[in-house]
Amino acid sequence: MKKIFVVDTSVFLFDHQAIRNFKDNDVVIPITVIEELDKFKKGNETKNFEARNFMRFIDSITQKKEIDQWIKIPGKGNGKLKIGWVRKRETLQNLPFVEMINDHLILAVAKETLEENSTKKVILVSKDLNLRIKARAIGLEAEDYQTGKIDSVDELFLGIVEKKITSKAVFEEGIRNGFFPSDVFLGIEKIPNQYFILQYNRSKKIFKYNEFSDRFFHVGDSYCYGIKPRNEEQMAAMDALMDPTIKCVSLQGAPGTGKTLLALAAALEQRRNYKQIYLARPIVPLNNKDIGFLPGDIKSKINPYMEPLWDNLKVIQNQFNEKEKEYQRIQELVEKEKLMITPLAFIRGRSLSNVFFIIDESQNLTPLEIKTIVTRAGEGTKIVFTGDIRQIDTPYLDEHSNGLSVLIEKMKGSELYAHVTLKQGVRSELANVASERL
């Protein structure tokens, strides 16, 4: 049965091409959505880019047409589109809300659409959880915008597999020549740059799988700019960060697992291989205020959001005495802008060559933002994404639809990509206890 989808503003701020993804179904865009998108047309953030491109698309397909009537959506499907608004005053009067805010006007359009099309299924589509709940409360069907979402984060690629080996001979032979019989990995998919923690009795060794040679390479323990991995997971992460053939790395895990610290240490260790080290993290402002409200130049505006990165840098610096050259070198890199904070808002259109680029808290990026960053990579650049997919601060994203989850799922299997999920907290004994008990 053909459906009618009433689509909320949040969907088009997430994906300006969303209108093309409803196949042969019809789409109603409340006029309130057009009004709200107008507020986002200026700015350098992804949501501003999405708003502008969607409005250009609507303008291109509606010229010389009565947009309050159904018009065909361009493409192979048979879906139609129209702009909707509330035509009956009683529709608003019958809604159980005290204030008539924009969200409620969108609900009113959905309600009238349902009344006018009683033989069709009418569904409100929104990435706003609260709006979906309100819709269901007044008898409307509502769902999230599904395109680009990961079906199950519980099945998300971990990048690392633990396996017990019962034969001492097989274990020792594997360490010597990197070969293990196929029955050791029965039922386990071998993926390029995947790590395997293999254990015989109390002995553990970590290996990285190479698909071209079908061999497993032993991963050793090593210091990077004063930082030593504390467990097998961190050893795997450090190996991926230090491997020049791997151009994109993602590290996913709870706070305190060492994601950002390892990435920074690896960048500093390889500083001679790169022209610059860039550090960034998404800015999720409080009270919905843009950083433009803050005083000072761009560095002054973004520094409060970047303090966690500086904290990790200080941890690395404090591994050394103030008089040691390693300690002083970090300060020199900052002063000479060889190591610098860069705002993500201005990355669109740039080409980044010979750069080690660390993006922290990348679970707060949309899939399009992640794609925008990765596609900026020029020759000799390495990009590292760190984050925790269960700690989302950005409105309209969740653990299924955030950019980090999508990156892990879509990039899996590329010889240029490696991922490691870190589970063991290493910040402090107190932090580990609090994470478990609170």
Q: What is the pLDDT of residue 356?
A: 97
Which domain, by its residues, includes 139? 3-143
Q: Is 329 found in the same domain as 189?
A: yes
pLDDT in tens, 243-255: 999 999 999 999 8
CA distance 241 to 264: 10
Q: Is 166 found in the same domain as 128?
A: no
DSSP 202: T
Residue type, 147: T
Q: What is the pLDDT of residue 286?
A: 42
Is 39:92 a contact under the CB 8 Å cutoff? no
What is the pTM assigned to this prediction? Answer: 0.86
Let me know if 160 is exposed, middle or buried by CB neighbors in 10 A (0-12, 13-18, 19+). Answer: buried
Query: How many domains, the chain?
Result: 2
Tokens 């009418």 map to which residue?
Answer: 122
Identify which of 338, 376, 339, 342 has the alpha carbon closest to the alpha carbon of residue 359: 342
Q: Is 372 found in the same domain as 419?
A: yes
pLDDT in tens, 258-299: 999 999 999 999 999 999 999 998 876 544 445 555 555 555
Q: Is 131 found in the same domain as 32?
A: yes
Q: Is 131 found in the same domain as 54?
A: yes
What is the per-residue DSSP string for 93-105?
Answer: HTS--SS--HHHH
Helix (H) or strand (E) holding 269: helix 259-269
Q: Is 173 found in the same domain as 107?
A: no
Q: What is the pLDDT of residue 285?
A: 52
Q: What is the pLDDT of residue 303?
A: 66
Domain boundary, last residue among 122, 143, 164: 143
Q: Is residue 148 part of a domain?
A: no
Q: Is 129 found in the same domain as 209?
A: no
Q: Is residue 249 part of a domain?
A: yes
Q: What is the CA radius of gyration of the chain?
A: 25
Sign of dihedral through CA atoms 334, 338, 341, 346?
positive
Q: What is the CATH number of the domain that holds 104?
A: 3.40.50.1010
Domain boundary, last residue among 143, 162, 184: 143
What are the 10-residue block averages of pLDDT along the chain, 438 residues in total? 94 92 94 95 86 93 84 88 93 91 96 93 96 97 88 89 92 87 84 94 91 86 90 95 97 93 96 95 60 54 74 92 92 92 80 95 93 94 96 89 95 96 83 74
Sign of dihedral through CA atoms 340, 370, 5, 43?
positive
Q: What is the CATH number of the domain that holds 421?
A: 3.40.50.300
CA distance 413 to 423: 22
Q: Is residue 12 part of a domain?
A: yes
Residue type, 43: G
Q: Angle, to 10 degrees, between the axis of helix 232-242 and the axis of helix 259-269?
A: 40
CA distance 258 to 262: 6
Q: Determine the length of the chain.
A: 438
Q: Is 86 found in the same domain as 62?
A: yes
CA distance 10 to 4: 18
Domain boundary, last residue among 143, 163, 188: 143
